[in-house]
Structure 1
Amino acid sequence: MSSSQAESISKSAAARQSLTELSEDELLLQSSVRRFAAEVVAPQVRAMDEAQQFAPGLVAQLAELGLMGIEVPEELGGAGGSFFEAILAVEALSAVDASVGLVVDIQNTLCVNSFRRWGTDAQRRQWLPKLAGGMICSYALSEAGSGSDAFAMETRAVRTNAGYRLRGRKLWISNAREAGVFLVFANLNPEAGYRGITAFLVEAGTPGLAIGRKEDKLGIRASSTCEVILEDCEIPATNLFGEEGKGYKIAIEVLNEGRIGIGAQMLGLAQGAWNHAARYAQQRKQFGKAIAEFQAVQFSLAEMATEIEAARLMVYNAARRKDAGLAFVTEAAMTKYFVSQVAERVASQCVEIFGGNGYVRDYPAEKYFRDAKIGKIYEGTSNMQLMTIAKQLLSHPVSLQER
């Protein structure tokens, strides 16, 4: 047996360990985040949703718990954890508020991972301690004309004597209002098409960078979603992120990991909706008994729980594969596609179990329903996931069972 075959078998064995049996460290993290979500986040969920912003000091508290830099090495101020631990944190927070889950998700699966994989040593030393300490990083890729077709961007970069000048408009940028640094994608060589796309770091407050219109959204309202405007924004050469012309590669590879994060967010949301539905069904009485005693409600709760368990296995499997160094692109796309559907179905059924109370804001069901819809849209729509899945399966002769 060759060394490469032995390594592959070792990785496969690591990935095949019990998906839902957590290590001591993973259990401790999960327990801590669940307690924080219940005691700190839950009492503020409704107010944050109505105010469309995070409660003052909440992000700092997330950082104190180590959740803003889970995979940041300890020597750089982070928790020194794993990707799987980041997924557990996103899931636990999203069970209470998907907006809070989102800020931890983007920070870790998109931004921290980008710095760890593509940043220079100097950039990692400069920025990772700040991110772990609570500075929010915003991922500025999408534009009005380049959503699913992400590489049709019109934002341009030109070289200057001191570095680069950026000009363009980004749209639907999560957490832009709170961000301290932006990872901006712009085309440095439009003649080369997507191969001209390059990534840059732009610090908040840089002249020429402005935060534009804040979207008034259906769900995840506490997390800001804004336009980011670049008007002859000058940055130094040291703010080049990765190599020139490799921005498309950074975006693709990091978003593959980000899809698992969105799966975790939607998984947590579905679990939270189920928890509320089950409690309400046991408390709500009709015809002289709790509605949980009616078989129709029991069947509904059972179906919801079964789908949630299937979704959890998919999320955990994709995350375990990523940590084990195994191929995970297909699994990540399948996870994003399936779990977002589960979240929408479970949240909808939660509203129905609450009945009329599920349709009013005095109860939590309607917020879970509103928050769930975005799961099928951002970081790659459901149709984009299906395209990825089909392409992966049809272009590789190795079946999923043989992976």
Structure 2
Amino acid sequence: MTTTEPHPDGGLSRGLLLLMSVATGLAVAGNYFAQPLLDLIGRELRLGPSMAALVVTAAQAGYALGLILLVPLGDLMERRRLAMSLYAATAVFLLVSATAANGTVLLASTALTALTSVGAQVVVPFAATLAAPAERGRVVGTVMTGLMLGLLLARTASGALSELGGWRTVYWVNAVLMALMAVLLRVFLPRLGGDGRRLSYPGLLRSTVAMFRYEPLLRWRAGVGALSLASFSVMWTALTFLLARSPYGWSESAIGLFGLVGAAGALTATVAGRLADRGYVQTVTGAGATLLVTSWLAIAAGARSLVWLLVGVIVLDLAHQAVLNSSQNVLYALRPEARNRINSAFLTSLFLGGAVGSALTSVVWVHGGWTGVCVLGATLSAGTLALWVLERITVNRAAGKPSKTSARQGHDPAPAASTNWSNPYPATTKGE
């Protein structure tokens, strides 16, 4: 079976889709377990606050490297083997974290865990390839729901597990679950790829970067996604500051439970996916970007009203999921044979956007408080909407008068992408 062929059944069983969703959530969760436990970890391993905070930085750096260096391998290697190997390696590195005797070992194991946890981003395009075209949006939305739930609920789960058996319990439990996932993926995933056509690894990385040059829609959607995640990160970064002070004054455990609110927004990703399957992928992006802007009105009112804060957070999460899911559906339709490289390029851009949003939040909070944070988030959201509008104008002009079907699917009616691996990135859209 080649990398461009869908599963022979023309779709995914519910059981396999559930397995892939849970697998993605568990993989990314490991990168966030330490955040509410830094004080406990610091005391036991005798780390200063700055050294303890480096655990979070190590996770971010490792994940970024994994997106760039490992995710593109899904276009080169047999995908089941790659996914299983990455999950097994993550389990091993989690065990190292669970038994870490000092901060140096914990930092190294955290970075390596994050590096291999990008196996989740091998599973997402894997699911898109196995899905029948008519259900790809629903499938991607379902798998991404699992991923986002893992990200949002990790802090809550780590707090509960640490109270039961200390901070190391979190890593032991996740290591066992990741090892189990590696076995289940090996048993239930079909073989995909490995048909003998090869790029060298350096050539694969060059090809990933070159996608930005030869795929105009990737450039547009990378910008749209980066601004959306930046806005998303602004809210979640500043939320802890807001809830810890008057008039809320919440404890750390109560703040951690607020992640459950975000989970409600993540569950709507499948709705966005189903709408994309019905030909409304651009409508989903536009509606999501518009809601992203308006959500900040409620979030701003949330400075003194918990009800408005809850409404704003749910709407913002829903909107971000709509933008992310619809963008992935647009991009996965471009080049089936380069799906992992496109995913790598897109997600690296998202990661950078989120990192910039978090960094700006720290500065703006000091000088402008919650009002300044809301202005920053609304500005980034407005940029998301503006960039999507410019994308539509540019693509439609380049395509002349595209058919309704082409416009809804997010790309102009250009010839199909070449699958010649010796020349893997000729342009497939007319947006340049």
Structure 2 length normalisation: TM-score? 0.33
Tell which has more relative contact order, 1 or 2 (C-alpha 8 A, sep 6+): 2
